[in-house]
A and B are shown apart, each in its own frame.
Chain A
Amino acid sequence: MFDDRSPIYLQIADKIKEDILSGALGEDEQVMSTNQYASFYRINPATAAKGFQQLVEEGVLYKRRGIGMFVSPDAREKLRTERRERFFEEVVDAMITEARVIGIPLDEIVRRIEGAK
């Protein structure tokens, strides 16, 4: 569930983004209401609403008045692009730093990647 150490609404937004990236939530699919979400995860409804609002502002979700929140048609593609931009810095560079610290030669990593092709 959610930890106590960072804003819960950001954790909610991240969780929904993960579901969109993995395909568990499809384009134009309705997401749970803030009340359902609050009740399910045992959090204040205002906190849940803040997480959803964040996603509306980012264009990941859109509102249909009186019906609920839906996944934007281009949300998955948008999130994938964002993640790709961060991939080298957050995943690859971090891996290289870790490899240097523990003494794994980069050649060995390259060989492993070649093997996975």
Chain B
Amino acid sequence: MTLSVEVKDLTIRYGETVAVDGLTLKLAGGKIYGLLGRNGSGKTSVLSAVSAFRKATSGAVLVGGAEPFENAALTRQICFVRDRVDAQDGDCARGVFRMARMLRPNWDEEYAQALIERFHVPLKKRIGALSRGAKSALSVTLGLAARAPVTIFDESYLGMDAPSRYAFYDELLNDYIAHPRTIIISTHLIEEVGSLFEEVVIIDKGRLVAHDDTEALRARGVAVTGPADAVAEFTAGRTVLGDQRLGGTRSTTIYGQLTAEERGRARGAGLDLGPVGLQDLFVHLTAEERR
């Protein structure tokens, strides 16, 4: 079973601050999504609303077609994983696992044990005494072993070192292949994890900037490089994301697919057309001067 996630005209305010500003999103079930946004863009607020940790100020959130807020049967199907553990500092990890076994209908104990070993999760220490890396390891172990139909990792593995993060990516991908479910990952480590995303959602200032198939999004950014005049002529009237000059050479990043005819014309004018990576595209789309 996979569950879809729908956000309809969602607004979340904290006093005067608008964290999410009329966001509408439709995520089909059973895919891995990347949610990208700068600090303070509203990622955690959106994900908290989807997980029923927070009530929408206005608008609606639907998971599998139903409202998750104060819906216990549905929230058991949604697992929200952060880089800290939702437990008392005095609890030990063993107790946290006991709770998870009780609360999570799809909990896989054997898999949990394998992950505890792989990520070296300390079971006897108090949560408050765990290092940042150990907290992340505990969080992702809880998130993976829960096998919840909607699993959300909100920068949950930031405290892990590079080898542990790659181990996490491997576990996530293999377990997703074996047990397809809806996974949403919010992250700043775009280059590391970008190839895992089937679709990417970019938000900025609580609003949607882009939502597309990862590959289609990648194909949408083009860096046009060549003699300054020719670049200016070719990019006139297009959505320009970035612009750099070095002597007589200019490199302009544009947004939007080029037709074969346009590509041919660019080449004829001595222009070089280069691809733009997901991370660069994200940086350009959410840059300060565009805000």
- Bound-state Cα–Cα, A38 to B196, Å: 9
Task: Select the stretch in B55-63, B70-78, B167-175, B243-251 that faces chain A.
Answer: B167-175
**Nearest-CB distance from A56 to chain B (Å)?**
17
Known: A4-B191, A42-B173, A46-B31. A9 touches B279 (CB 8 A): no
Q: How far is the CA of A88 from the CA of B29 in the complex (A)?
A: 48
Q: How far is the CB of B238 from chain A (nearest CB, A)?
A: 20
Of residues 2 through 18 on chain A, the ones whose CB sits less than 8 Å from some CB of chain B are: 2-9
Contact of A44 among B195, B275, B277 (CB under 8 A): B195
**Number of contact residues on B: which range applies?**
20 to 34
Chain A residues, Cβ within 8 Å of B274 = 5
Question: A46 to B278, alpha carbons, bound, how many Å?
Answer: 17
- Within 8 Å CB of B170, what residues of A? 39, 42
Contacting pair A44 B197 (CB below 8 A): yes
Q: How far is the CA of A47 from the CA of B172 in the complex (A)?
A: 16
Q: A1-36, CB under 8 A of B: which get 1 and which 0?
A: 011111111000000000000000000000000010
Q: Write out, one digit per residue, whether chain A residues 39-52 have a CB within 8 A of any chain B CB (1) or not (0).
A: 10111111100100
Interface membership of B91, Cβ < 8 A: no
The reply to whether B275 and A6 contact each other, CB–CB distance below 8 Å, is: yes
Q: Are B215 and A8 in contact (CB under 8 A)?
A: yes
The residue from B214, B277, B279 contacting A47, defined by CB atoms under 8 A apart: B214
B174 touches A43 (CB 8 A): no
Return the chain A residue nearest B170 by Cβ: A42
| Contact flags B123-157 to A (C-beta < 8 A → 1, else 0) | 00000000000000000000000000000000000
Contact of B215 among A9, A39, A42, A45 (CB under 8 A): A9
Asked if residues A4 and B278 are in contact (CB atoms below 8 Å), the reply is yes
Chain B residues within 8 Å of A35, by CB? 177
Does the CB pair B174–A7 fall under 8 Å? no
Specify the chain A residue showing the minimal Cβ separation from B193. Answer: A42
Q: Which residues of A contact B275 (CB under 8 A)?
A: 5-6
Which residue of chain A lies nearest to B174 when distances are taken between CB atoms in the complex? Answer: A39
One of B177, B214, B218, B279 near A45 (C-beta < 8 A): B177
* Chain B min CB distance to A37 (Å): 11
Which residues of B sit under 8 angstroms from A38, Cβ to Cβ? 173, 177
Q: Mark B275-291, 1 if CB is under 8 A from A, else 0.
A: 11111000000000000
Q: Is the CB of B31 within 8 A of A6?
A: no
Q: Which residues of the partner chain A approach B169 to less than 8 Å between Cβ atoms?
A: 42
Q: Which residue of A lies closest to B279 (CB)?
A: A4
A4 to B197, CA, bound (A): 12
Tell me, in angstroms, the Cα distance from A2 to B176 when the chains sit together: 21
Kindly state the separation between the CA atoms of A42 and B214 in the bound complex, as whole angstroms.
15
B219 lies within 8 A of A7 (CB) = yes
Q: How far is the CB of A3 from chain B (nearest CB, A)?
A: 8
**A44, B214: Cβ atoms closer than 8 Å:** yes
Contact of B198 among A7, A42, A46 (CB under 8 A): A46
The reply to whether A47 and B195 form a contact with Cβ atoms under 8 Å apart is yes
A73, B102: Cα distance in complex, Å: 55
3 closest cross-chain pairs (CB), A and B: A4-B277, A5-B275, A43-B195
With A5-B218, A5-B277, A44-B195 known, 6 other A-B pairs at CB within 8 A are A3-B277, A5-B276, A6-B218, A42-B173, A44-B173, A50-B215
Instruction: Identify 30 residue pairs between A and B in the complex whose beta-carbon atoms are under 8 Å apart, listed by A's number.
Output: A4-B191, A4-B194, A4-B195, A4-B218, A5-B218, A5-B274, A5-B276, A5-B277, A6-B275, A7-B215, A8-B195, A9-B215, A35-B177, A38-B173, A38-B177, A39-B170, A39-B173, A39-B177, A42-B169, A42-B170, A42-B195, A43-B196, A44-B173, A44-B196, A44-B197, A44-B214, A45-B177, A47-B195, A47-B198, A50-B215
